[in-house]
Amino acid sequence: MKNFYTLTLNEIKQLVQKKELSKKELLESLFQRIDKIDKDLNAFISLFKEEIEISDSKNFLPIAVKDNICIKGKKTTCGSKILEDYVSPYNASVIEYLKNEGFVFVGKTNMDEFAMGSSTETSYFGYTKNPYDLTRIPGGSSGGSAVAVASYEVPVALGSDTGGSIRQPAALCGVVGVKPTYGRVSRYGLVAFASSLDQIGVFARNVLDAAIVLENICRYDEKDSTSINLAQEKFTEELCKTDEDFIKSLTIGVPKEYFIEGIQKEIKDKIYEVINFLSNQGLKIEEVSLPNTEYAVAVYYIIAPSEASSNLARYDGVKYGYKSEDKIVSYSQSKMINMYLLTRKEGFGSEVKRRIMLGTYSLSSGYYDAYYLKAQKVRKLIFDDFINVFNKVDLLITPTSPTTAFKIGEKINDPLKMYLSDIFTIPCNLAGLPGMSIPCGYDSNNLPIGLQILAPHFKETKMLKLAYFIEKNFRFKKITNEYVVGEQ
């Protein structure tokens, strides 16, 4: 059988329109691929083969969905025991939009528990492996979505990004990952982790495919009070206009705080190779400074756990998911309190508990001013840094991650080390900016390196155009193996 699983989303769209590809052929090819390799990779928590086969949708654009986005009638586990059997009673808004455009949902992907992590190792459903080296992590928390796309199980996937959970795994798995501006994509039906930072976005193997999904999900939604009422943009049309003059007129900022000591040298060198390439193409390159960058991780680890501690209070054994009953942990408490205590003790993993404790502590009345309030003030300084810089430059280029994919187990017992994986992605979330990662080469272990582009609020089009330009013109030889297929 022809390897239909290697088709891009755009190719599938064209072939379907010309009636040159049947739903059966495509889905058989995809599910055979998944059957063959996913036992090694563990990208999926659930698969919906039968449902897709009987659905009457004429179009059939396959997409995978991170398991914290609700699909009606399907489990939404968030990679957690506490939601192991939770079935969503409604569709997230993004799911409605995509369904109406002929997308079909192949399955739900693995993730760090409640999207807390940078390696997909905190999932209750076992870890996902990096298709470039099965002894390494794929990044996280949307590791399942990144791997499903990188290993040709699906052409595109949805993820969520609170501090880097789309861009960092995209970088570590050699695919494109886009986090839109905060408020661009409805969060209705996305299980809340840190509501002022969470944003749904997309993984794809090329920029055009990402743009196809994005233009369908970047929409105003009255069900989300933080959704911004902007006209839907036609990202793909914009990309297909050949306006190299526009690209060459751009000024690119290179923030010096993103090339700090400790970053893997090969990553730094590779990013500079792209910057030099752009400079040779006529783009203006300027070194800029974002002086409060060094506080971003600290600020994030106050704000995100604070919001998480509040959001996760709803998992109490009464309203959702797992319930532990009829056991006593504390004789001084009522039966009901015992039930709450045990449900949360048994239902949450240790990283989630750590965050709940951190958050509860920084929101408590004695420490609120010293931690939470202070963090909010510094968040504003980080925001202002970006606004200042974007008065001078159009876009920023940085590394996405300080290292390439690390070994399974290497950082899981050292939370601080793990938290630093997102040092370059977190500031963007704190400021609500759009950001994306594109592959730009490999290190000496043949592991992918990601380049991050950051844009001013709502300038996704400009960001995608630069990414598209780099993808087309900065060529590098793609590494392939049995999981990562070569270009056809």
- Residue of 13, 29, 66, 145 marked active site: 66
Q: How far is the CB of 167 from ligand GLN (least distance, A)?
A: 9
DSSP letter at 371 equals I
Burial of 66 (0-12, 13-18, 19+ CB in 10 A): buried
Q: How far is the CB of 186 from ligand GLN (least distance, A)?
A: 17
The amino acid at 187: R
Q: How far is the CB of 162 from ligand GLN (least distance, A)?
A: 4
Using an 8 Å Cβ cutoff, are 293 and 402 in contact? Answer: no
> What is the contact surface with ligand GLN in residues (CB under 6 A)?
115-118, 141, 161-165, 193, 304, 422
- Residue of 29, 119, 141, 145 marked active site: 141
- Residue of 165, 306, 309, 401 marked active site: 165
Q: How do beta strands 176-179 and 200-204 pair?
A: antiparallel
In this complex, which beta carbon is closest to ligand GLN, that of residue 143 or of residue 347?
Answer: 143
DSSP letter at 69 equals B
Q: How far is the CB of 374 from ligand GLN (least distance, A)?
A: 19
Q: How do beta strands 395-399 and 251-255 pair?
A: parallel
In this complex, which beta carbon is closest to ligand GLN, that of residue 95 or of residue 115?
Answer: 115
The amino acid at 128: T
Using an 8 Å Cβ cutoff, are 190 and 201 in contact? Answer: no
Q: How far is the CB of 318 from ligand GLN (least distance, A)?
A: 26
In this complex, which beta carbon is closest to ligand GLN, that of residue 118 or of residue 128?
Answer: 118
Q: Which residue is nearest to ligand GLN (CB)?
A: 165
Q: How far is CA 69 from CA 48, 289, 363, in A?
A: 15, 36, 27
Q: Which of 451, 454, 428, 438 is nearest to 293 (CA)?
A: 428
In this complex, which beta carbon is closest to ligand GLN, that of residue 44 or of residue 193?
Answer: 193
In this complex, which beta carbon is closest to ligand GLN, that of residue 80 or of residue 162?
Answer: 162
Catalytic residue status for 88: no
Catalytic residue status for 66: yes
CA dist 276 and 282 (Å) reads: 10
Alpha helices in 330-450 (DSSP H): 335-347, 350-363, 374-389, 415-419, 426-431
Active site residues: 66, 141, 165
